[in-house]
Every structure is written in C-alpha cells, then in structure tokens.
Amino acid sequence: MRKDVTLIEYRLPRWLLVTYGCFTLGIVPWIVFLLYSLPSRHVSRHWDVMWVGFDMALLAVLTATLYLGHKRSGWIVMPAVALATLLVADAWFDILTAHPGPQLAISLATGLVLELPVAVASAWLAARTMRRLLNGWRQS
C-alpha cells in the first residue's frame, strides 16, 4: 500500500508544535506593532557589514548547492531551499531599499531577471529531489 508523500513518518515533539503555534500567534501582533511603530526611514551604522554578511551567506549556500549538485547528492535539498529563500529576500530588500532612478531600475532588473528565476529553479530542484528521495524510500 502506497503511503501519502505529504505525511511525515514520525510525530513532531509536542513542545515543537506548541512553539510553532506560539510563534504563529505571536507574530501577528508583532507585525501590527512594527507597522505602526517603525519609522519609514532609518540610517544604519553597519549597512555595509549587513549586506556583505548577507552576500557571504548567499555565497555559502550557492557554493554548497553547486557542490552537492555536482556530487549528485540528496543533501542538495537543504542548501537549495536556503538559496531560494535568500534570493527572494535579497530581491525584496534590494528593490525596497533602492533609490528611485537607475538604482531602482538595476535592482528591479537583477531581481526579476536573475534572483527570482534562480530562486524558483532552486525551489524546483529541492522539490524534485525531495520527491525522488521519497519515492526511493517508499520503494525500499
């Protein structure tokens, strides 16, 4: 009898489910609080360090995805998901923090032509790999 691929074969610990539930309920008022309390403009002392650190994380997961893809390893799922997530976040923040004019045009172009398509491809790669791994697991 085939098992449903969407079901997890083990139960998550109750404390973890409670933690997720608390975060889920707690983030809604937090978002509302931020919406009304944050200034629309903010100057950061470590803007350069933040972006360099973010891009270094992007480089790390991109390298891991490339390496594990070259090795044809099922472990590629994790860095591919992280890569997709970081690329979407990168496009989001690049576009929203860009000044109007050429900077915004470049951010839109790189986001729409490069970052988001690679993010979609990475998510597809992770889902496809996970499906193949689950199918192999079910058949064994």
Mean pLDDT of 61-72: 96
Tell me the pLDDT band of 65, cut-offs 50, 70 and 90.
very high
Torsion of CA 108, 111, 112, 118, to 10 degrees: 170
Question: Is residue 84 a contact partner of residue 122, using CB atoms and an 8 Å limit?
Answer: yes
* Tally of domains in the chain: 1
Q: Which of 34, 126, 128 is nearest to 77 (CA)?
A: 126
Torsion of CA 130, 134, 135, 136, to 10 degrees: 100
- 19 in a domain, yes or no? no
- 23 in a domain, yes or no? no
What is the Cβ-side half-sphere exposure of residue 82, based on CA atoms within 13 angstroms? 17
- 72 in a domain, yes or no? yes
Taking phi first (over 0 means left), then psi (-120 to 50 degrees means alpha), and beta for anything else, what does residue 98 get?
Answer: beta
Q: Which of 124, 94, 90, 122 is nearest to 108 (CA)?
A: 94
pTM of the model: 0.83
Tell me the pLDDT band of 1, cut-offs 50, 70 and 90.
very low
- 39 in a domain, yes or no? no
- 41 in a domain, yes or no? no
Q: Which of 123, 91, 92 is nearest to 110 (CA)?
A: 91
Is 2 a residue whose pLDDT tops 60? no
- 104 in a domain, yes or no? yes
- 28 in a domain, yes or no? no
- 89 in a domain, yes or no? yes
Task: Give me the domain span that covers residue 87.
Answer: 46-139
Q: Which of 29, 85, 80 is nearest to 54 (CA)?
A: 85
Q: Which of 20-29, 57-66, 75-84, 130-139 has the lowest mean pLDDT?
A: 130-139
